[in-house]
Amino acid sequence: MKVLIASDGTSGAQNALDKVNQVAGTAGAETGLESQIGVILNAIIGVIGIVAVIMIILGGINYTTSQGDPGKTKKARDTILYGVIGLIIVLLAFAIVNFVLGALAG
């Protein structure tokens, strides 16, 4: 296996990792309270977003299999509507959390 060494003595993989960290904004490996809270909140928001998408899919399946029954069709449409509303709320919460954490981090 060949390892490329840059002129400053570091490997090419380390240089690539440094570039990725700079682009991602994680250079210096923040361990502050804001970043920990951000990771936790983003994980929770991600899980809730996945649940909202699953509800939309289940509503679509129920709508498709309702066979024209007005009660089942209304229930399926409501499920889809509530899933879309939930997804919008999750996206707004994600944006607000990241904005606030970005403002706190400086």
Would you place residue 28 in the very low, low, confident or very high pLDDT band (cuts 50, 70, 90)?
very low
| Lowest-pLDDT choice from 1-10, 65-74, 80-89, 93-102 | 1-10
Which domain, by its residues, includes 25?
Answer: 1-29
**What is the structure's pLDDT at 3?**
47
Task: Report residue 77: phi and psi, to 5°.
Answer: -65, -40
Say yes or no: 7 and 40 in one domain.
no
Residues 34-92 have pLDDT tens digits of 778 888 988 998 899 899 999 999 999 999 999 989 999 999 999 999 999 999 999 99
Residues 78-87 have pLDDT tens digits of 999 999 999 9
d(CA 88, CA 49): 9
Say yes or no: 15 and 45 in one domain.
no
Say yes or no: 36 and 23 in one domain.
no
Q: Which residues pair with 11 in a beta bridge?
A: 5
Number of structural domains in the chain: 2
